[in-house]
Chains A and B, each alone.
Chain A
Amino acid sequence: MAQMTHSRSTAPRDKGLGHWRWQRISALATLGLMVYFAYMVARIGPMDYAAAAAFVAVPVHALGLVVLLVAGLFHAALGVQMIIEDYVMLAQGRQRFVRLSQGVFMLLAVAGLAALTVITGVI
């Protein structure tokens, strides 16, 4: 690692590292929970509605889905931001596209969390 930490830039050393760092953190969280999610999908596959709803409503499963939703959508937003920043020029409204994609992922997170609160019957 040592050879990568020396910057000759005058910018603060950790400035701009946030995206990179959060991408790794959310990736680890998503990776672990996706394995768990695959297990859940396999279990839910043959179930009928009542059994599926009850299965998702189990606190551990619901909590796993909540964290997966947040971490996964956060990771997706960071990744899509990278793609937009690579292929859309500033003059073409790059920032607006990034904000738009973030809004879409935020909406998805809200929708997913709302669905989970309904399924678990928290509210």
Chain B
Amino acid sequence: MGMRCVMPLQHVAVAAIEGFNIDYWAMITHIVRYNVQPLFGRMSDRQRYQMAKPRPLSPHLQIYRLPLPAVMSIMHRISGAALASGTVLMVLWLVMLAAGADWFALAAGALAHPLGKFVLFGYSLALVYHGLNGVRHMVWDLCIGLEVDQVYRSGYLVLAMTVVVTACLWLVI
């Protein structure tokens, strides 16, 4: 539906900053069309169409290039979901260990297989990232590092440490 406000205050402020370079005629027509005319009588079909047609959208998720903190936020959620799914495999490994030597050999074989190693690598990567970024979240909970430049710096730090720690895990072990 059409916008029914007369003129939002922030628009007035922006207009003031920009030296009141406003399309006054458009403003007046807008106010009359959406605030005055509906008060009197029935609307014409044309008016109804005007009010129902899609209004201009503000830029949103699919239009902006996501900034780093937003990307890291959704990565935190994705890695968390991956880890939650991975618990199935962890419990399965424990159950196979409990089930006896044959089952354990099967589990060990699966983990030694390139595909198994790939899954394990992905799991470790998600774990390290989620853990480090989780620490970042808890530091934020203490109201530390909430300035924009600090958020960016801690973000780059977490990304770098994720790479280093995961590499250490796989190179040392």
Give A residues with C-beta under 8 Å from B: 1, 3-4, 24, 27-28, 31, 34, 38, 42, 45, 49-50, 52-53, 56, 65, 69, 72-73, 76, 79-80, 83, 105, 108, 111-112, 114-116, 118-119
Contacts and interface: CB of A to CB of B under 8 A. Distances in A.
A101 to B, nearest CB: 9
Contacts of B105: 49
B87 A73 contact: yes
Nearest to A107: B91
Contacts of B94: 56, 65, 111-112, 115-116, 119
B12 interface: no
Main secondary structure of the interface of A (DSSP, over half): helix
Contact of A119 (B77, B88, B97, B127): B97
Contact of B131 (A34, A111, A116): A34
Contacts of A69: 91
Nearest to A27: B134
B84 interface: yes
Interface residues of B, number: 28
Contact of A42 (B77, B95, B173): B173
Interface of B: 77, 80-81, 83-84, 87-88, 90-91, 94-95, 97-98, 100-101, 104-105, 124, 127, 131, 134-135, 138, 141-143, 169, 173
B62 to A, nearest CB: 16
B124 to A, nearest CB: 8
29 contacts: A27-B138, A31-B135, A34-B127, A38-B169, A49-B105, A50-B101, A52-B97, A53-B97, A69-B91, A76-B83, A76-B84, A76-B87, A79-B80, A79-B81, A79-B84, A83-B77, A108-B88, A111-B94, A111-B95, A112-B90, A112-B91, A112-B94, A112-B95, A115-B94, A115-B97, A116-B94, A116-B98, A119-B94, A119-B97
A97 B159 CA distance: 33
A71 to B, nearest CB: 12
A4 B143 contact: yes
Contacts of A38: 124, 169
A105 to B, nearest CB: 8
Given A31-B135, A79-B84, A80-B84, A119 B142 contact: no
Contacts of B169: 38
Contacts of A52: 97, 104
A65 B93 CA distance: 12
Contacts of B100: 49
